[in-house]
């Protein structure tokens, strides 16, 4: 029996150890989704729920889009799998070319992986190996940022700065990591529309504290999300990313933008690097590359970095790194289907066109009970609630639960409610999303 609607009845939930989920609570009151189309999920009870989070910052083209579904189905019948280890298939090369074409000038080589976590660990390994090949093998330290999130693997966890994802694994954290301060300061910068005008000087900590402490010749790379997501949706102050770039340039340090969330149109451009006008040395991506339909991620590298590897190896394997499924045919097909959908429907432009309406909806929640900040950039938004004394996160979780019951899916991150709709969203969906969430905020006061 594989009709999910029938299967949902009497389903045994025990065997599946669910990720980043309170398993006991979920299994006591399961929330099962059996189908999705465009902006909506269908639940096992047959309810329609608006997906206002692109599920997990992924589904930028909307759900079950025909071009993506057909590309995957047809590829599954033609060539299910071939590895990219000394073999190849056309779609992976074409997908890489298309991604490179969308990336900022000079970033034109793409290493495929299967997730954002793998993309981050791959970028960190590229940075280490690159410096070593150039005779600067002392460059082994990484700099991340408080409240940064770079995935669940050991490298990404170590440069990440969200305590919950680190504390149980302290023994396995990479030792040579420092963290910049995060950029949030509600006393100075609450209820800002778009990028805050103050706070660029927070980037100076890199040159004032971190480089003198460790010495630049020991630092391989700085990694940041251009807009921090899982750490609570933090919009970079105007000029902040530019300063990080300038400091890295002065000291020979690579700058990595983790664009797992911001890539593929979230800010109305293919990548946040273009939106902010700052060119990193490496970009990590995942999620939106296939609009969530098949797992895929990757790293885009500057031409000089790729050439350093290729020219140093003397004909053998240049980089002993990769995954069985790097460039998997189904993922490559899904990526091409997603990129075609983005282009044909001008979805990145739609993010620009809708940004003001979206911002109005986010900021309309100012003044509701316990709302201490509203923030937005293009089609990313957040409303932050004051934590209930002794129960951090409880308020946002209750808002999320009530919204779900009324047909809207948003994500609670601590006491932040995050909004990240598919780029196909229409004003009428946004009206429902913000209306339902506002009602829920009033009720849980």
Min. distance of Cβ 157 from ligand PXG in angstroms? 10
Rounded CA separation 227/229 (Å): 6
| Burial readout 35-51 (b: 16 or more C-beta within 10 A, e: otherwise) | ebebbbbbbbeeeebbb
Determine which residue in the list 117, 122, 158, 341 makes contact with ligand PXG, applying CB under 6 A: 117
Determine which residue in the list 413, 430, 436, 438 makes contact with ligand PXG, applying CB under 6 A: 413
CB-nearest residue to ligand PXG: 116
Q: Which is nearer to ligand PXG, 120 or 143 (CB)?
A: 120
The footprint of ligand PXG on this chain (CB under 6 A) covers a number of residues equal to 18
Q: Which is nearer to ligand PXG, 286 or 305 (CB)?
A: 286
Min. distance of Cβ 323 from ligand PXG in angstroms? 12
Site mask for ligand PXG (CB under 6 A), range 252-291, x = bound: ------x-xx------------------------x-----
Q: Which is nearer to ligand PXG, 1 or 164 (CB)?
A: 164
Does 121 engage in binding with ligand PXG (CB under 6 A)? no
Composition of the chain by helix, strand, coil, percent to 5: 40, 20, 40
Site mask for ligand PXG (CB under 6 A), range 48-67, x = bound: --------x-----------
3-state secondary structure of 374: strand
> Residue 301's beta-bridge partner residues?
109, 282
Please count the residues of the chain.
Answer: 445
Q: E strands of 292-368, at which residues?
A: 297-302
Q: Which is nearer to ligand PXG, 120 or 430 (CB)?
A: 120
105 touches 279 (CB < 8 A): yes
**Crossing angle of the two packed helices 66-78 and 329-344, in degrees rounded to 10:** 150
Determine which residue in the list 104, 144, 151, 381 makes contact with ligand PXG, applying CB under 6 A: 151
142 touches 223 (CB < 8 A): yes
114 touches 190 (CB < 8 A): no
Classify residue 367 as left (phi > 0), alpha (psi -120 to 50) or beta.
left
Give the Å distances, CA to CA, from 241 to 61, 200, 226, 234, 271. Answer: 28, 8, 7, 13, 14
Q: Which is nearer to ligand PXG, 44 or 408 (CB)?
A: 408
Q: Which is nearer to ligand PXG, 211 or 422 (CB)?
A: 422
Determine which residue in the list 43, 60, 115, 376 makes contact with ligand PXG, applying CB under 6 A: 115
- Tokens representing 340 are 């075609």
Determine which residue in the list 225, 384, 398, 415 makes contact with ligand PXG, applying CB under 6 A: 225
> Among the candidate windows 115-123, 133-141, 316-324, 363-371, which touches ligand PXG by CB under 6 A?
115-123
The DSSP annotation for 325-338 comes to TTT-HHHHHHHHHH
Task: Pick out residues in 13-32 that bind ligand PXG (CB under 6 A).
Answer: 20
Min. distance of Cβ 61 from ligand PXG in angstroms? 17
Would you tell me how many other CB atoms lie within 10 Å of the CB of residue 25? 9
Our measurement of the distance from residue 321's CA atom to the centroid of its chain's CA atoms, rounded to an integer in Å, reads: 22
List residues near ligand PXG by CB under 6 A. 20, 56, 115-117, 120, 149-151, 225, 229-230, 258, 260-261, 286, 411, 413
């Amino acid at each position: 029996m594989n009709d999910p609607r029938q299967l949902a009845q009497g389903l045994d939930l025990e065997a599946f150890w669910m990720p980043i989920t309170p398993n006991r609570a979920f299994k006591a009151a399961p929330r099962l989704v059996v189908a999705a189309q465009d902006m909506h999920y269908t639940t096992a009870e047959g309810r329609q729920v608006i997906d206002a989070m692109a599920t997990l910052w992924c589904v930028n083209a909307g759900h079950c889009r025909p071009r993506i579904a057909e590309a995957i189905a047809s590829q599954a019948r033609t060539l299910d799998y071939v590895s990219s280890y000394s073999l190849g298939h056309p779609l992976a090369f074409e997908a890489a070319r298309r991604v490179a074409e969308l990336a900022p000038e000079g970033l034109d080589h793409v290493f495929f992986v299967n997730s954002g976590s793998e993309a981050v660990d791959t970028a960190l390994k590229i940075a280490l190996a690159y410096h070593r090949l150039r005779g600067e093998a002392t460059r082994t330290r990484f700099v991340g940022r408080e409240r940064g999130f770079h995935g669940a693997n050991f490298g990404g966890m170590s440069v990440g700065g969200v305590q919950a994802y680190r504390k149980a694994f302290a023994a396995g954290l990479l030792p040579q990591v420092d963290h910049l301060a995060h950029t949030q300061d509600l006393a100075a910068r609450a209820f800002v529309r778009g990028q805050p005008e103050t706070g660029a000087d927070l980037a100076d900590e890199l040159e004032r504290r971190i480089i003198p402490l460790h010495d630049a010749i020991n630092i391989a790379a700085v990694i940041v999300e251009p807009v921090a997501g899982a750490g609570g949706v933090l919009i970079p102050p105007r000029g902040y990313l530019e300063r990080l770039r300038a400091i890295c340039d002065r000291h020979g340090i690579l700058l990595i933008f983790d664009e797992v969330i911001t890539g593929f149109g979230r800010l109305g451009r293919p990548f946040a690097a273009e939106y902010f006008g700052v060119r990193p040395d490496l970009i990590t991506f995942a999620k939106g590359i296939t609009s969530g339909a098949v797992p895929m991620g990757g790293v885009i590298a500057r031409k000089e970095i790729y050439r350093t590897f290729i020219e140093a190896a003397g004909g053998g394997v240049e980089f002993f790194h990769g995954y069985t499924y790097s460039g998997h045919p189904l993922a490559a097909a899904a990526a091409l289907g997603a990129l075609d959908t983005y282009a044909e429907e001008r979805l990145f432009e739609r993010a620009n066109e809708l940004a003001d309406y979206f911002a109005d909806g986010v900021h309309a929640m100012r003044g509701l009970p316990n709302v201490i900040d509203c923030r937005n950039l293009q089609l990313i938004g957040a409303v932050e609630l004051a934590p209930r004394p002794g129960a951090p996160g409880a308020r946002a979780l209750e808002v999320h639960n009530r919204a779900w019951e009324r047909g809207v899916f948003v994500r609670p991150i601590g006491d932040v409610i995050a909004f990240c709709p598919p780029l196909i969203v229409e004003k009428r969906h946004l009206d429902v999303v913000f209306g339902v969430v506002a009602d829920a905020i009033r009720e849980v006061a």
